[in-house]
Amino acid sequence: MEIRAFGRDVGLNGYTDPSEAKHLAEFGGVPGLVLDLGSGGGWPGQEIIVRSGRSVVGMDMVLSGLQIARQRVADTDIADRFHFVAGDGQRLPFAPETFGTVLHADALC
Ligand SMILES: C[S@@+](CC[C@H](N)C(=O)[O-])C[C@H]1O[C@@H](n2cnc3c(N)ncnc32)[C@H](O)[C@@H]1O
């Protein structure tokens, strides 16, 4: 698939690594709540919270990923800024303009 999309094997593994999460966190986007669509195990939402102090909603249709992400931040000082919603990103259950920034890292693929 990478060869079809990029013309070469660029080493994608389907998950955001810490350096990519750092890059996304520093990108910033528009101020306000961040939606991490297809949040999986919690990257890069966790990194965005730590680096920017913003609050993030992680949304995924797979409960086990949400549970991993929640456990990853439980008992940390960012737990109250990382919220989780189970659902299909093609049918967002949020009011318009709830989020300043919406990102999807290796999701919807
Ligand atoms: C390859 S993983 C990437 C996870 C994380 N974003 C990362 O970079 O580590 C893709 C994730 O997107 C989720 N996903 C795919 N389609 C989705 C949809 N329509 N709604 C919600 N989540 C979706 C999958 O369940 C999976 O957790």
Q: Inform me whether the pLDDT recorded for 12 exceeds 70.
A: no
Per-residue model confidence as pLDDT tens digits over 26-48: 887 889 999 999 999 998 899 99
Instruction: Pick from 2, 34, 37, 57 the residue to mutate for probing ligand 1's pocket: most ligand atoms within 8 Å of its CB.
Output: 37
The closest residue, in CA terms, to atom 25 on ligand 1 is 62
What's the pLDDT band for 78 if we cut at 50, 70, 90?
Answer: very high
Higher pLDDT, 7 or 97: 97
- Residue-range domain boundaries for the chain: 2-103
DSSP secondary structure code for residue 64 in this structure: H
Report the b/e string of 74-83 with b at 16+ CB within 10 A: eeeebeebbe
Per-residue model confidence as pLDDT tens digits over 41-71: 998 899 999 999 999 999 999 999 999 999 9
* pTM for this predicted structure: 0.88
- Superfamily name with CATH number, domain 2-103: Vaccinia Virus protein VP39 (3.40.50.150)
Q: Residue 63: enclosing H or E segment and its boundaries?
A: helix 63-73
Percent of the chain at pLDDT exceeding 70? 89
> Considering the chain, what is the average pLDDT of its residues?
89
Query: Cα of 8 to ligand 1 centre, how many Å?
Result: 23
Query: Cα of 60 to ligand 1 centre, how many Å?
Result: 6
